[in-house]
Structure 1
Amino acid sequence: MAEKKCCNSLETASEKQQIAIIGSGAAAFACAIKAAEAGAEVTIIEAGVVGGCCVNVGCIPSKIMIKAAQLAQQQRKNAYPAIKDNPPVIDRALLSLQLQNRVDELRDAKYENIVRSNDNIRLIKGFARFSSINSLKIKKQDGSFDSLYADRFLIATGSSPYIPPISGLADLPYWTSTEALFATRLPERLLVIGSSVVALELAQAYQRLGTQVTLIARHTLLYREDPELGAGLRIALTDEGMSVFENQKIHSAEYKDNLFTVSINNQSLQAEKLLIATGRHANTQSLHLSQVGIETNNSGEIMVNGKMETSQTHIYAAGDCASMPQFVYVAAAAGTRAATNMTGGDVSLDLNTMPAVIFTDPQVATVGLSENRAKDLGIKTESRTLALENVPRALVNFETTGFIKLVIKANTRVLIGAQILAHDGGEIVQTAVLAIHNRMTIEALAAQLFPYLTLVEGLKLCAQTFNKDVAQLSCCAG
């Protein structure tokens, strides 16, 4: 794609507001589109592939792989004796090609085409760093340098996989999530180090595609969430044949004779491939932030307020490089709000009802406060947990693994949290988001009409358990 012409001067002849964005992912493009709509001229500077993590090496390819793995598992084992199980035949190279093709299509349609079709947005390929509080120095791909002046800036440089300091690991040919997603061959055995989103999603996907997976967690699974979620998911994973080791001290890793060996507690584990999925860290090291007075935390994340302003109020940050949850929809919302504030508005981002979904099977979906988090905040709570065997849709699907848990503030009866472990749990949680956002009491939620034989009806049933025994109700929950 041809680049739009970039000026070599710090000054620009245009009287329009000049906005420079470092990075080209969800936060960057949400900001660029909104700012261009407001009449600004926007320059996006990108050192690598346009589109950021989500479309290229994150959400899009991982969900394709997860869906394929789910279909393989359903072919291998299903809940209906009338339908014969068969071992799936999997062409990993063809799956990788299909995945890459869809990534390329979406990157072109949702990112590159925006630049082509919007005269107020231009793209420069190169590495940018601050040379002053109002200008960037850009090293372009041909080795030349440009300087770019702007009135406002957005830093949206994303994140990279974090590699823990395990003895011997640094020089080994381990996988990160990128290599795991785009591999063209299935290993016979795979070791996965991690205990949260990426580790769990990819570990289960590989297990279902036919690899024997061993998951090594330094804590319990999902240790930052309600303990029931991690415990329930662990049972589901081990039931599918995965080996799970929790609360492990990892002593060392080595690679010899085409085998990885990881030493934990009192034993050693081996596999042909090793996936490191221990979180991500902000891409801020090369931006020269300290020289222009932009504050970061100990993890390198840029500190921002609710308006996405940094310690230099004309410089904003959004997405994984900023001090906010690492979700693409949070990044996009933050980018949009940053653009509004850059162009004369005054809006902020409220994350109190932010939903989160982990696309394992069953899925983990949460919003608001857990009991433990509420306790830390000094809030007295009540909660109820409804096993999915009490939800008619789960019963007719023969998919009763999991639960729905609701947390209320004891004195007001207002819903403040929901934790869900369920097949398609991500399709349930948004109703809880709206209930919390609108400060519904648990009785008001229980009184709503929910369509029968939907999983989301489980929210109503769980709400009813605060005041009655749902086992004594007829099938349609009243």
Structure 2
Amino acid sequence: MSEATPFDFDLAVIGSGGGAFAAAIRATNLGKRVVMVERSTIGGTCVNTGCVPSKALLAAAEARRVSFDAARFPGISTSAGPVDMAELIGGKRSLVETMRSDKYVDLIREYGWELRQGNAVFTGSQEEPVLEITAADGGREDVRAGHYLVATGSAPWTPPVAGLRDVDYLTSTTAMELDAVPESLLVFGGGYVALEQAQLFARLGSTVTVLVRSRLASREEPEAALALAGVFADEGIRVISRAAISTVRTDPETGEVVATANVAGGEREFRADRLLVATGRRPVTDGLNLGAVGVTTGDAGQILVTNTLTSTNPRVWAAGDVTGHREFVYVAASHGSLMVENAFNNAGREVNYRHLPRVTFTSPALAAVGMTDQEANDAGIRCECRVLPLEYVPRALVNRDTRGFIKIVADADTRRIVGITAVAKDAGDLAAAGVYILEAGMTVEQVANLWSPYLTMAEGLRIAALSFTTDVSRLSCCAS
């Protein structure tokens, strides 16, 4: 039981996504009194409009693509008919509803914290913050808590392009609710959402053109952009790099979306039936009245937090996308648990992204952990790198798909591995293995001499490490 306090609850959580649930579960396990406030659908972005539905649709699209691509295996011939988009989206909704119930709604009852459905606004003062909750029926309740956690996530952001507001454009959320596959699709953006959605709709049957301001996956190794551009070209996806979009309009005669962009110093027009804007996300903090309780936000609306996740008000914490930190559900969940440990156990724990894995679920996938080549150089590390084409990885050869690579970035002085990037099937698993390699401070020689099961993609890590000292083109397929 919690000790008697002047507060209604020990912890009030605004939001109900991964960070919010991680915090509520941990706090409840510590015997704390918890209330969660959600103004919309329980579960947040990941289960409702992010990870779960997008990866479910990507898996379906990949299954369809395999039927077209099976001819790479001699003796195999398959085909696929048109997509019943309404049925596909219906299946996605059913999966989301099941997971929302099993992994979110049911857990509230199981752990026993309180839920308020309504809109939360801070009132009071910095010294005595109060949460005013307004329910859909107009009822109001003031909640006083020892600590408050803002875990309201992020939402799709659209750039200030002339005419965009007058166009019926799609976001990553609304695109996954379409009842028909667009014949053609323009995609604005080159980040992970744009990449995944572009390939998704191309595999479902759309003719896709991607307009990207710089290059694909601009935060990752340049080899990744080249590899994915090649994959997209193979699949009929047109990528226009270094495109500065100036205007967007709807053609009144055809109903097409028309985007004008400056490409290589000249103006070009691009047309499609639909437009998907996937240019990033922004934290959701509007309407919370954070200034009233002394919480400072940044230019994009993010709550500015310390490494321990406290805001400028020591009783108000933030977790997940709303902090402006990396937008992964596992980051949000880690934040939620860390915040509770710091608030109630005085743990003093700090977030550390040094070995944070990151995955883009294209096919083949892009995944990385640690530093890129450029980041290592910027940090003053004299680095040595090797890029291993997948043609030297036996698993890729038997898959008959050698599109991609594995890159290792190492400190040239210590030989310690500081970064790994891969474009490959199961690249996310390579990044997960990379977390342990980097966390252990392993050298290229250590990885090169580890056991690795033959005919796995993970064997590619060992071969990439071997390439620092060995001509891997002269290796036997199963001996080194």
What secondary structure is seen at the aligned counterpart in 1 of 2:165? coil
Distance 1:67 1:248 in 2: 30
Distance 1:459 1:468 in 2: 14
How does the TM-score come out when normalised to structure 1? 0.95
Q: Is the 8 A contact 1:27 1:331 kept in 2?
A: yes
Query: Residues 325-347 of structure 1, C-alpha deviation per residue, up to 9 Å, x if partnerless?
Result: 11000100111111111221412
Residue number in structure 1 paired with 2:230? 235
1:380 to 382, 398, 401: 382
Residue number in structure 1 paired with 2:461? 459
1:436 to 435, 438, 463: 438
Distance 1:430 1:417 in 2: 12
What secondary structure is seen at the aligned counterpart in 1 of 2:321? coil
Residue number in structure 2 paired with 1:90? 83
State the AA in 2 paired with 1:187.
Answer: P
Taking only aligned residues, the RMSD between alpha carbons, in angstroms, comes to 1.5
Q: Is the 8 A contact 1:75 1:88 kept in 2?
A: no
Distance 2:92 2:383 in 1: 45
Distance 1:15 1:285 in 2: 26
- Give 1:418-433 correspondences, 5 Å limit: 418-433=420-435
Distance 1:475 1:77 in 2: 25
Residue number in structure 1 paired with 2:304? 303
- Give 1:226-375 correspondences, 5 Å limit: 226-255=221-250, 256=252, 257-265=254-262, 266-346=267-347, 347-375=349-377
Could you list the runs of 5+ residues in structure 2 that have no partner in the other structure?
none
State the AA in 1 paired with 2:255.
Answer: N
Identify if the C-alpha distance between structure 1 residues 127 and 477 changes in structure 2 by more than 3 Å, giving closer, same or farther. farther
1:35 partnered with 2:24 = no
How does the TM-score come out when normalised to structure 2? 0.95
Q: Is the 8 A contact 1:446 1:461 kept in 2?
A: yes
What secondary structure is seen at the aligned counterpart in 2 of 1:278? coil
Distance 2:142 2:303 in 1: 23
- Give 1:89-128 correspondences, 5 Å limit: 89-119=82-112, 121-128=113-120
Aligned residue pairs, count: 466
- In the TM superposition, residue 85 of structure 1 has moved relative to its aligned partner by 3.2
- In the TM superposition, residue 16 of structure 1 has moved relative to its aligned partner by 8.5
1:182 partnered with 2:177 = yes
Identify if the C-alpha distance between structure 1 residues 146 and 402 changes in structure 2 by more than 3 Å, giving closer, same or farther. same
1:208 partnered with 2:203 = yes
What secondary structure is seen at the aligned counterpart in 2 of 1:343? helix
1:54 to 46, 60, 84: 46
Distance 1:472 1:189 in 2: 46
What secondary structure is seen at the aligned counterpart in 2 of 1:151? strand
- In the TM superposition, residue 155 of structure 1 has moved relative to its aligned partner by 0.5
Distance 1:277 1:191 in 2: 10
Residue number in structure 1 paired with 2:448? 446
What secondary structure is seen at the aligned counterpart in 1 of 2:228? helix
1:169 partnered with 2:164 = yes
State the AA in 1 paired with 2:218.
Answer: Y
Distance 2:469 2:346 in 1: 46
Distance 1:339 1:232 in 2: 42
Distance 2:9 2:446 in 1: 48
Query: Residues 107-135 of structure 1, C-alpha deviation per residue, up to 9 Å, x if partnerless?
Result: 0111101112222x111011112113431
Moved more, 307-316 or 391-400: 307-316
1:80 to 73, 77, 84: 73
Q: Is the 8 A contact 2:82 2:205 kept in 1?
A: no
Q: Is the 8 A contact 2:12 2:149 kept in 1?
A: yes
Identify if the C-alpha distance between structure 1 residues 315 and 468 changes in structure 2 by more than 3 Å, giving closer, same or farther. same
- In the TM superposition, residue 17 of structure 1 has moved relative to its aligned partner by 5.6
Distance 1:111 1:258 in 2: 41
Distance 1:235 1:15 in 2: 59
Residue number in structure 1 paired with 2:397? 395
Could you list the runs of 5+ residues in structure 1 that have no partner in the other structure?
1-11
What secondary structure is seen at the aligned counterpart in 2 of 1:342? helix
Query: Residues 4-62 of structure 1, C-alpha deviation per residue, up to 9 Å, x if partnerless?
Result: xxxxxxxx988896100011100000000000000101111111101000000000000
Distance 1:286 1:393 in 2: 52
Moved more, 340-349 or 425-434: 340-349
Distance 2:455 2:223 in 1: 25
- In the TM superposition, residue 475 of structure 1 has moved relative to its aligned partner by 2.0
Identity %, equivalent residues: 38
1:141 partnered with 2:133 = no
Q: Is the 8 A contact 2:8 2:143 kept in 1?
A: no
Moved more, 363-372 or 257-266: 257-266
Distance 1:211 1:15 in 2: 55
Distance 1:171 1:313 in 2: 43
Q: Is the 8 A contact 2:244 2:261 kept in 1?
A: yes
Residue number in structure 2 paired with 1:411? 413
Q: Is the 8 A contact 1:17 1:39 kept in 2?
A: no
Distance 1:304 1:474 in 2: 53
- In the TM superposition, residue 428 of structure 1 has moved relative to its aligned partner by 1.4
Moved more, 333-342 or 399-408: 333-342
Residue number in structure 2 paired with 1:6? none
- In the TM superposition, residue 178 of structure 1 has moved relative to its aligned partner by 1.1
Distance 1:307 1:73 in 2: 45
1:469 to 468, 471, 474: 471
Identify if the C-alpha distance between structure 1 residues 14 and 95 changes in structure 2 by more than 3 Å, giving closer, same or farther. farther
What secondary structure is seen at the aligned counterpart in 1 of 2:369? strand
What secondary structure is seen at the aligned counterpart in 2 of 1:404? strand
1:71 partnered with 2:63 = yes
Residue number in structure 2 paired with 1:4? none
